[in-house]
Chain A
Amino acid sequence: MIRAFGTFAGLLLIVALTLALFGLPVGHSLSLMAQGAFGDKLAITRTLVKTIPLTITGMGIVVAWRAGMYNIGGEGQFVAGGLAGCLIATPLRDSAVPAWIAVLLILAASVVGGGLWGGIAGWLKNRRGVDVVISTILLNFIAIQLLAWLVAGPLRDVKSGLPLTPELPEGMMLPRFDRQTDLHAGIFVAVLAVAVVYVFLYLTKAGFRTRLVGAGESAARANRIDADRVRANAMLISGALCGLAGGVEYAGVAGQLGTSFAQGWGFLAIPVALLGGLHPIWVFLSALYFGALFAGSRSLAGFTDQGTTLIYIIQAAAVLGLIGLRAVGGKRRIQAEVA
């Protein structure tokens, strides 16, 4: 509890410092951001809408990184998931399939698409020894260009002049809570993802193996675990979750794909997951915190050009601050053991 409070206070301090460094009035900016993040019903739903993709991609990052697979490719997997969802939505649109089944099929397709994209990296690591960091980064760029090509060409809505896919009919979108706000049923998917990842990591044998492999090759070998297989599975699950986030964003918020579909949720999930200590529950809280920051930063846009770019600095400073604190704490512990 004290740790959580300390983290929160530290994060607030970083936010205030960043604002001050850029010459913004700290108190006024903070109250504007708080207003934009929690001020009224609209603000709260805005925070939650941004929390959804951060949480689901964050869970994807947790699974991979806990297995020691540095998946930097959340963005590419997110895009692959959205694309797969869009691909399956096209024939479903004019079919007799009930709308709620169509929504589920879209989400299922996004899981497959993202899993495939993540799985490629896992496969390359095991079979060809290609470093996951490098392969997932390259796969990000490939996915983003693939998206740009598909929305400008094959998947483009012929009726519109813009590079956008046709809009999903209302019935094939995730249901919303009310008409005024954007909050959609994806919030349940996010909470479910947190629960599933928690149960997987801490209550199943496969999850235990995953954590063991991530903790070190030797511990895994001593327990006769096929580390390659565990890592490949972790990349599959991780990609599937990031892909699911893409599907939820497509069927929950966007309704159509354009080049702006790749908004960087997959990248931002990495600091979110790190600040949550790669533990599902804490990562969820971390996603809520940054969801609020992103929602709040929009109110800053009224009187400064920065806004979202400031959040990147805050995220990076928070991660580095945490590393620094942990390293200092770790050193003390080692010294204490020696003494």
Chain B
Amino acid sequence: MDLAVLLVYAAPIALAALGELISQKSGVINIGLEGMMLLGAFFGMLAAYLTGSPWLGLGLGVSVGIAASLASGWFCISLGADQVVVGTAVNLFALGLTGSLFRARFGASGQLLSLPKLPQFFGIDPVILLMIASIPAVWWLLAKTGWGLVVRSAGEYPKATEAAGFSVNKFRFQAVAIGGAFAGLAGAYLSIGVAGSFAENMTNGRGFIAIAMVTFGRWKPLFVFLAAVLIGFFDSLQYLLQAKGVQVPSQLMLALPYVVALLVLVIVGKGTSAPASLGVAYRRED
């Protein structure tokens, strides 16, 4: 298969996973990633459809992703609510909101839209370039900057972060917002760049797969990206095999990415590379 095509298929999962990585490094697991992608996909589609500009579509997708992550952050970080509970609610909310708005605007029958396309440079669109550039960027941000150091410490041992004079919650909010921006972009790219249309629940588990890929990639940007590309490969394998005339039940091929993701997690196990305070809200003792 053409590498450029493979990258396009893998991009939504890869982008979402890179954002989730930053969020998780700060100690916040964003189970609502799927919902944030869906919001990005819907509002990105809406802006691109109404204005005719794919750029405004991507822009609105990113903005909605950030807004959703800040709202979810208010519950998880400020209120210290359980991150799995909040994430589950975010997913349900996004599913209901995008479904209702889509039906209200385009009818319940599921209209096929044609969205404006992104420009291509040498057969690659700018979002793919941005994705490739963000692999070293995310690594540099987390490993080499002072900001990254504080974020990582907030995910490992927040008491020490606070003792050093930094606000754990402030840095968690920033990390979560960056994660939300990536999720929104991933969703908007899914509707505008990959599908060229929108359908109800079109993310179809990609957000969840992205969360699994962060674990699979051991919280390292390059590995997380490669993991997402591997899943993208298995995702596109059905078309490849069909083209070669190999008879495999299509439903089993559709299950393949999930089976591979699960098997990989079974093989690598949890290990010790997870941030020590992942999923634990920080309450200041004052």
Residues of A within 8 A of B (CB): 22, 70, 72, 124, 128-131, 133-135, 137-139, 141-142, 145-146, 148-149, 152-153, 267, 270-271, 274, 304-306, 309-317, 319-320, 323-324, 326-328
Scan residues 81-100 of chain B and give those whose CB is less than 8 A from a CB of chain A: 81-82, 84-86, 88-90, 92-93, 95-97, 99-100
Contact (A138, B261) CB under 8 Å given A131-B215, A305-B104: yes
- Choice from B80, B92, B271 contacting A271 with Cβ under 8 Å: B92
A316 to B92, Cβ gap below 8 A?
yes
Chain A residue at smallest Cβ distance from B94? A316
A148 to B269, Cβ gap below 8 A?
no
B251 cross-chain contacts in A, Cβ below 8 A: 145-146, 148-149, 152
A315 cross-chain contacts in B, Cβ below 8 A: 89, 92, 96
Q: Which secondary structure characterizes the binding site on chain A?
A: helix
Stretch at the interface among B156-164, B171-179, B252-260: B252-260
A152 to B262, Cβ gap below 8 A?
no
Contact (A129, B271) CB under 8 Å given A134-B265, A137-B205, A137-B208: yes
B255 to A145, Cβ gap below 8 A?
yes
B166 cross-chain contacts in A, Cβ below 8 A: none
Q: Determine how close the nearest CB of chain B comes to the CB of A120; give it in whole angstroms.
A: 9
A274 to B100, Cβ gap below 8 A?
no
Contact (A134, B212) CB under 8 Å given A128-B266, A323-B86: yes
A152 cross-chain contacts in B, Cβ below 8 A: 249, 251
Q: State in angstroms the CA–CA spacing of A153 and B75 once bound together.
A: 45
Q: Determine how close the nearest CB of chain B comes to the CB of A327; give it in whole angstroms.
A: 4
B241 cross-chain contacts in A, Cβ below 8 A: none
A145 to B254, Cβ gap below 8 A?
yes
Q: State in angstroms the CA–CA spacing of A309 and B106 once bound together.
A: 14
Q: State in angstroms the CA–CA spacing of A138 and B215 once bound together.
A: 13
- 8 A-B pairs with C-beta separation under 8 A: A130-B265, A133-B84, A138-B265, A149-B249, A271-B88, A274-B88, A312-B92, A327-B80
- Number of B residues near A (Cβ < 8 Å) is 44
Let me know if B103 is at the binding interface, CB within 8 A: yes
B88 to A128, Cβ gap below 8 A?
no
A271 cross-chain contacts in B, Cβ below 8 A: 88-89, 92
Binary CB contact string for chain B from 192 to 232 against chain A (1 if under 8 A, 0 otherwise): 00000000100001001101100100000000000000000
Q: Determine how close the nearest CB of chain B comes to the CB of A11; give it in whole angstroms.
A: 14
Let me know if B31 is at the binding interface, CB within 8 A: yes
A316 to B93, Cβ gap below 8 A?
yes
Chain B residue at smallest Cβ distance from A133? B84
Let me know if B144 is at the binding interface, CB within 8 A: no
A324 cross-chain contacts in B, Cβ below 8 A: 75, 79
- Choice from A124, A267, A311 contacting B266 with Cβ under 8 Å: A124
B93 to A312, Cβ gap below 8 A?
yes
Q: State in angstroms the CA–CA spacing of A135 and B80 once bound together.
A: 25
B85 to A323, Cβ gap below 8 A?
yes
Q: State in angstroms the CA–CA spacing of A70 and B167 once bound together.
A: 29
- A313, A317, A326 — most chain B CB neighbours (10 Å): A313
A306 to B89, Cβ gap below 8 A?
no
Q: Determine how close the nearest CB of chain B comes to the CB of A95; give it in whole angstroms.
A: 29
Q: Determine how close the nearest CB of chain B comes to the CB of A127; give it in whole angstroms.
A: 9
B99 to A309, Cβ gap below 8 A?
yes
Q: State in angstroms the CA–CA spacing of A326 and B79 once bound together.
A: 9
Contact (A130, B255) CB under 8 Å given A139-B262, A271-B92, A313-B93: no
